[in-house]
Structure 1
Amino acid sequence: MNAYAIILLALGMSMDAFAASMGKGATLHKPKFSEAIRTGLIFGAIETLTPLIGWSLGMLASRFVLEWSHWVAFVLLVFLGGRMIIEGFRNGNDDEECEPLRRHGFWLLVTTAIATSLDAMAVGVGLAFLQVNILVMALAIGCATFTMSTLGMMIGRFIGPLLGKRAEILGGIVLIGIGAEILYSHFTG
């Protein structure tokens, strides 16, 4: 696999994380650059590990991983998105009483990152059958995801004030949309 193909694949794998982090950035009250970096690091680290895990699983049992990864991603993203939508409506009723969210919890970010990186795990399974340096590929995917997630959080910072209380609802819809797109892509091949 040449450098151009590696870069394209890495950017493609980072798009789900970009969209999810943009939604996360929109739900926060003026997220700082340090929060964007933190989110990028969490998403990037997990996105680096999942192709390695997928590659390892591909060596062992590729059929099972490929059959179920899209369903796992779909369920996780719909769950997280639904939770964000419910919280958005719940927070929408408490106009002045609710202190604005300044930081997402670590485990919420990890769960979101895992859900958006399951496609990278499936790619890792496929890479197990090709002559490719999996470490270079995983690092490229992780670096692209770090960059795109950090950028997504900062874009979300500017979108959030425009959307107001609806930002969390929109973020939830984005996560559900990503999950639906993963499922749709699987079935349409």
Structure 2
Amino acid sequence: MTTHAESPSPSPSAAIEISPLGGDADAHAFRALNEAWITTLFALEPDDERVLADPRGQIVDRGGAVLLARDGDRVVGCVALIPEGDGMWELAKMAVDESVRGRGTGRRLLLAALDEARRRGAGAVVLGSSVDLPAAVHLYESVGFRHVRPEEVGHMPYARASVFMRHDLGGTPGA
């Protein structure tokens, strides 16, 4: 998998690198990052609890991927790709630590996830977001996601999902 390094960084810390989920510490960071953003505006739902308790078993071992953004040895962001069948993948559980927001980390994660989906043969990536997350929705739009009807993304188990988007893949990775 391609490692995406972010530079220049406005902080004196090491460049942001994107890599796959590793051991228990990574799984804990994935959970903590997601709990932080979800509980700020919403409540954790049963599907959140299930996935966050075991990202390796619920995502990776089922053919999906969890990518982490690292600033040195600290995990500062994450995103998951979940296969939905028929060439469609769900982009889920994207989070960036508040301390590094606004530095391009979310964009790096999103582009790395789209590259990974292409590498795995995905034809489309779908997601559910919320009108209460305008910066996230704008980021998705900026890389080519378009708004679609809920039924076009398949089953979306989260009550907070009020924005549904799809990105039809094609072209070259990183585009």
TM-score, structure 1 as length reference: 0.27
Q: 1 or 2, which has the higher strand percentage?
A: 2
Higher relative contact order (CA 8 A, sep 6+): 1
Q: 1 or 2, which has the higher helix percentage?
A: 1
